[in-house]
Amino acid sequence: MPVEVGLELYGEKGVVLPFFTGHVARGLLLHMVRQIDPSAALVLHQLNVSKPYSVTPLRFRRVSRVEDGFVLDPAHPCHVSFRFLNDDLTGYLLQFFERQNSIMIFDTVFRIVSLSIKSNGYGDLEREAKAVKRFRLVFETPTYLPCLGSNYRWMFPDPVRVFCGLMRIWNKFSDGRRFSKEEYLAYKEWLSKNVGVCGYRLSTRLAVMRNKKALGFMGWCAYEMEDLKSEWNKVTVMLAKYAEYSNIGGNKTAGYGVTKTKI
């Protein structure tokens, strides 16, 4: 079952946070899991494997900008969300919160003042999906689509690449329906013939994580589906909503590809 755990935090002082904080959010999650089960944290930190979680960058109000980032305003809350593609990991966070209500970010203690949980089963996502003619994806953080065998990244939310990628993630972690290879190929062909981009407003942004940099697109993209009778129409809507848990594209565990769906 996909689950989103949201935290509201208050810092004890005005710490400097990087311009992009997706990797900071990932570090927080791995730290909390490590306190409960170090072996589980190692599994989540493996390289070059599809991982069952994504994060959002820290969202906070700033008082000023300095060379290394933004100075957090400790009078206002800081928010972060962790998304799990199965509910096994949720227990680690709940155990952590039972032990303590604060966490360190760099050299500053942050008090955890509230916690929210949102979940939606794989079966529920499938049943709730309705055929639509148009919908919009809003890319809230830098997003890029990997290109296998190439040193370059796809910098546009092409529907075939976006939704075939989401179907692969769904197949890996779903505890309900999974799509066969034949279904995947049929869906890919349907996307190429029946789904198009009918509008977009996108810009590129460079995100820096310590010594690493990655360029991604942000903004919104509207899709149109003329075929309202096909099952694949509902599957596309289902995968669009699933993206709110999984993120889209590369480096999802570091806060890239955070997406909202607007029908």
pLDDT of residue 48: 66
Q: In which residue ranges of the chain is CATH 3.30.70.1900 found? A: 122-262
CATH of domain 122-262: 3.30.70.1900
The predicted model scores a pTM of 0.92
Distance CA 179, CA 191 (A): 15
Closest CA to 244 of 163, 133, 137, 92: 137
Residue with tokens 């796809």: 154
The pLDDT tens digits of the residues spanning 49-69 come to: 788 999 999 999 999 999 889
pLDDT of residue 41: 83
* 166 residue type, one letter: L
The pLDDT tens digits of the residues spanning 194-250 come to: 999 999 999 999 887 777 778 899 999 999 998 999 999 999 999 999 999 999 999
Report the length, in residues, of the chain: 263
Give the contacts of 43 (CB within 8 A, at least 6 positions apart).
none
pLDDT of residue 49: 72
Q: In which residue ranges of the chain is CATH 3.30.70.1890 found? A: 3-119
Q: What is the 3-state secondary structure (H, E, C) of 240-263?
A: HHHHHHHCCCCCHHHCCCCEEEEC
Distance CA 34, CA 245 (A): 22
What residues in the chain have per-residue pLDDT under 70? 47-48
Instruction: Give the pair of three-digit tokens for residue 248.
Output: 């889209």
Q: In this structure, are strands 108-119 and 134-143 parallel, antiparallel, or unpaired?
A: unpaired
Segment 33-38 long-range contacts (CB within 8 Å, at least 24 positions apart): 33/89, 33/92, 33/93, 33/96, 35/96, 35/99, 36/92, 36/95, 36/96, 37/92
Q: Considering only the top CATH level, what class is 3-119?
A: alpha beta
